[in-house]
Amino acid sequence: MFKRVCIANRGEIAVRIIRACKELGIETVAIYSSADAEALHTQLATYAVCVGGPRSSESYLNVSNILSAALYYHCDAIHPGFGFLSENAGFARMVEQCGMVFIGPSAEVMEKMGDKAQAKQAMREAGVPVVEGSQGIVSDEKEALEIADKIGYPVILKAAHGGGGRGMRIVDKRDEVADAYDIASNEARSAFGNGDMYIEKFVRDPKHIEFQLLADAYGNVVHLFERDCSIQRRNQKLIEESPSRFLDDDLRREMGEAAVRAAKHIGYRNAGTIEFLVDKDRKFYFMEMNTRLQVEHGVSELVTGIDIVKEQLKIASGLALPFMQEEIQLLGHAIEVRINAENPKLNFAPSPGTIRFLHFPAGPKVRVDSAMYNGATISPYYDSMIAKILAFDTSRLGAIKKLRAALEECIIEGLTCNLDMQYLILHHAEFLKGNYTTSFMAKHQDEVVL
């Protein structure tokens, strides 16, 4: 097992990783920006070092400073968390070249899965269903138009080297293709430094279902069942739950087997997630693979009893998975809501500021992942997340009721957040049925933003 791990991240995920390391007897080195000098992760880690200024490019994306800090403190490995450098194959390669272990998949696999066209080809080879579309990068508007005419409308243009809903446009009609291509490509170039696009058939009103994977270095791969992430705003997840009420046992088994098959085919290692779209006829299609720990990993931890972050550390240190697929059971139902510092009434504008008073819920089967405290500041430089609040119960209705009660107990003063909106979603009739799709917010925003 590692002696010392550098955590190349901030906020609640840095705190989460520190907790797992402590339980395994691993020392931690926290990095921070000048804006995060009093952040919780810097206080909980064994050591903390400033790696640059407040902007991400100056600190949390500053590869040379991060590597220098990790080497100075004689770290055995670096955990990237999620976001920032977590899916940067070049960073992973440099970590290994410096004699440390990157806690994640190989750089080669990250590169393949980070290229949407290569990822789709790998899925075809693995026998995983994919949405019809371009075989590779679309060179220009003319080629995009030719492909769209061939596969039929609606289509969706997507950034080939990014995610998170940026560099993405839905096109319903032929005369919209050229403008949509230019807008999406420019957005992708601005966000990811690369404007390459690909195009595929748009699946209308799908379910967004992802399968959590764990894979060791010896070819063993398991899934920890699915998470339903269909409650979204602008392709950003708001609520996640497991299991999905939309899947029956046969479809759950088929999708899980497809996810495991895909991971084995590409030689995947560590934690990862295969994301699928599921249409109204319950046909599923590969969407993308996240080659990192997911924000919503806690949902899968609650329903299986498996600590995913601990398993990441064990796998990266060379240990084999301690369980087989048939030993992993669904223990109940878990739901997570993301509480963000944003104003739903002002088109979800960020609401940075200082938290004057904070009280998080507690009690049996309630979990809060956060790095906030009284007097903590939500910085305009980074993600606006305040907390992830989760609830677990033996039934879906029980989990919903427990999470409602938890949100009623939560008090956040000093800035605006989406707490009330999340509470109303948990009461909405369509959410209660469990058959909601990715269009939920587009259809019902006026009912949950009051």
Catalytic residues: 292
The torsion angles phi and psi of 21, rounded to 5 degrees, stand at -65, -45
Contact call for residues 388 and 298 (beta carbons, < 8 A):
yes
Phi, psi of 290 (to 5 degrees): -95, 115
Helix (H, G, I), strand (E, B) or coil at 17: helix
Strands 101-102 and 77-79: parallel
DSSP calls for 312-375: HHHHHTTPPPS--GGG----SEEEEEEEESEEGGGTTEE--EE-SEEE---STTEEEEE---TT
Give Cα 441 to chain centroid, integer Å: 19
CB 18 within 8 A of CB 34: no
Which letter does DSSP use for residue 174 in this model?
G
Residue 244 CB-density burial (10 A; 0-12 exposed, 13-18 middle, 19+ buried): buried
Cα 196 to Cα 18: distance, rounded to the nearest angstrom? 37
Task: Give the C-alpha separation, 156 to 168, whole Å.
Answer: 7
Q: Which structure tokens are listed for 108? A: 């080669």
- The sign one gets for the Cα dihedral 243, 248, 253, 256 is negative
Among residues 57, 84, 39, the alpha carbon closest in space to that of 49 is found at 39
Give all strands of the β-sheet with 197-201 in edge-to-edge order. Answer: 168-171, 155-159, 197-201
Q: What is the DSSP pairing of strand 27-33 with strand 47-52?
A: parallel
Q: Using alpha carbons only, give the angle 253, 254, 259 rounded to the nearest 5 degrees.
A: 95
Q: Is the peptide bond before 154 cis (omega within 30 degrees of 0)?
A: yes
Q: What are the E-state strand segments in 86-220?
A: 101-102, 155-159, 168-171, 197-201, 207-215
CA distance 184 to 196: 9
34: which DSSP letter?
A: G
Give me the amino acid identity at 429. Answer: A
Phi-psi region of 123 (alpha: psi -120 to 50; beta: other; left: phi over 0): alpha
